[in-house]
Structure 1
Amino acid sequence: MKRTLLLGALAAVLLAGIAGLGRGASLLETAAKEVLRQDPKGRKILKDFERYRKLAHIFKKYHDSRTLDDADLLEVLRETGVIKGASPAKGAKPAKPPKPFPIQQYSGRYRWPMDAGVVSSEFGPRWGKQHQGLDIAADTGVPIRAIAPGEVIYSGSHITGYGNVIIMRHDQDTTTTYAHNKALKAKKGDRVKAGQIIALLGSTGHSTGPHLHFEFRTGNTPVNPRTKLPKSAF
């Protein structure tokens, strides 16, 4: 696991668009490439990066086929106590409040949810609405990894439009969502380490082709994942 995290970190350096470093950035990239070449998995990452770069014009066509409705997702966050639920209907018995999450605030680092790929759609305005995550395209079946340690609070296919999806909780308020998967490799309640494989990339739900729709939320508020993940040219 530690080696996987190291390779992931080096891959991030390899892709880094480190503004302001000039020649220093080039030296960092050269050093990262050299270390990656010493490891079979590292060599595969290098090869994948190069191939995705050459085929980016194709992979950029793979993204959400429409704006995803997050109503079902928000209900999961209410049920698990990430956000406060609506008041119970008049006369209804109040639901038992969920237990507080054991980690109040995660202070560690995050990693990208894939080892390599092409961002096919950025966070922000899209088709007259708000795209609440990043779409990252790659080959069907590549591993999807947890960006940080946490607990799986949803694993299934009943969130409209998201296909096979996993939602992870990292602290009291922070969740990440991994959608459109071919297969799910973690179940609700699983405690997951950073870099652990939780799914395989696919094109389920509202999708034009194999890609990961990835969301980062604080409470019910979507945050641009690029502000949380290592600087990268994904």
Structure 2
Amino acid sequence: MGGTKRRPYGATAKTRQMVLAALGVVTVATAEQVRRLMCPGTASAQTVRNGCLDLGRDGLVESLGSASHANAAGNLVTEQLWNLSGPGLEAAAAVLDRPMREMGDTARGAARSGAKHALNVAQLTKADAQLELAEALRSWREKFPQVGVEECVGMESPAPALLHGSAGAGLLVVGRRHRHHLLSRRIGHVVHAVVHHAPCPVAVVPYE
């Protein structure tokens, strides 16, 4: 899609309104998270990304840094985190047809002020992680259909999550990256914690 001097990234009005509505609800998100929330049937987040960039040029959204996640191929992808500015908050209120008093004083303030429409970003992050987990398991489920798998996403640090999740288990299996150097015999803090504190036997499986 071609851009113009006003919209160099070529975002349509519909796309810009979609981004404003999403950020007015989830407060902080990447373009990929907005895509999954607002248009999950599309394959690429580039249209949403262009909308964020054009809105950024208009001063309606701003970048809060970046977040990383693994894509379907297992590669680490870094995305910008977007948040509404003050004028963007007003624009989002208009798109959502909400009075400003329900939006909070800033986009992130919407959740803090108890705005009824505000979705905690942790909920979106958990939903995002559940989608990634399902995608990571898909090929293994197809290869071993006789093996039952129960998915669980814990919004806590890895070691406590594994310790809590292994309560009542017969065996806890964890991975350990194998490195070809002198320090390769050392284990990470997560493996160290579960080996010493898990309530069941632990199998440590090295991988490249």
TM score, norm. by length of structure 2: 0.27
Indicate the structure with greater strand content.
1
Higher relative contact order (CA 8 A, sep 6+): 1
Larger C-alpha radius of gyration, 1 or 2?
2
Instruction: Return the structure number with greater helix share.
Output: 2
